[in-house]
Amino acid sequence: DAGVIQSPRHEVTEMGQEVTLRCKPISGHDYLFWYRQTMMRGLELLIYFNNNVPIDDSGMPEDRFSAKMPNASFSTLKIQPSEPRDSAVYFCASSFDGEKLFFGSGTQLSVL
């Protein structure tokens, strides 16, 4: 199995631009999680899906953030408009039981 695949690995953009992060979970996993990692705040859960349905989005910081999961093999996290404080590593993780998470390699986002 290829594991959780995220793209791009690195994204550099200017403030105000739209950013879209992509994730392909492990086949057969019913749960998908989006996390953000920063030095100051560590790993923060943004949103998670179960069977493609958003279950808890209370971690999404602002309306500028949105996430979708149109099917079982694809999810996106969008930031519009982006701001410098959004700079972080964004991880996608999938799970078959909601407990043991398998993380992707992350997207390093830099907003200038």
Partner 1 sequence: GQQLNQSPQSMFIQEGEDVSMNCTSSSIFNTWLWYKQDPGEGPVLLIALYKAGELTSNGRLTAQFGITRKDSFLNISASIPSDVGIYFCAGQLWSARQLTFGSGTQLTVLP
The reply on whether position 72 binds partner 1 by CB under 8 A is no
The reply on whether position 12 binds partner 1 by CB under 8 A is no
CA distance 102 to 37: 15
The reply on whether position 99 binds partner 1 by CB under 8 A is yes
User: Nearest CA to 23 among 3, 46, 7, 47?
Assistant: 7
- Minimum Å gap between C-beta 40 and partner 1 is 10
What percent of the residues of the chain are helix, what percent strand, and what percent coil, each to the nearest 5? 5, 55, 40
The reply on whether position 101 binds partner 1 by CB under 8 A is yes
User: Nearest CA to 15 among 109, 106, 92?
Assistant: 109
Backbone torsion region of residue 16, taken as left when φ is above 0, otherwise alpha when ψ lies between -120 and 50, otherwise beta: left
Residues 30-69 close enough to bind partner 1 by CB under 8 A: 31, 42-43, 45, 48, 50, 55-56
Give the nearer residue to partner 1 in terms of CB position, either 81 or 108.
Answer: 108
Contact footprint for partner 1 (CB under 8 A) = 4, 31, 42-43, 45, 48, 50, 55-56, 91, 93, 98-106
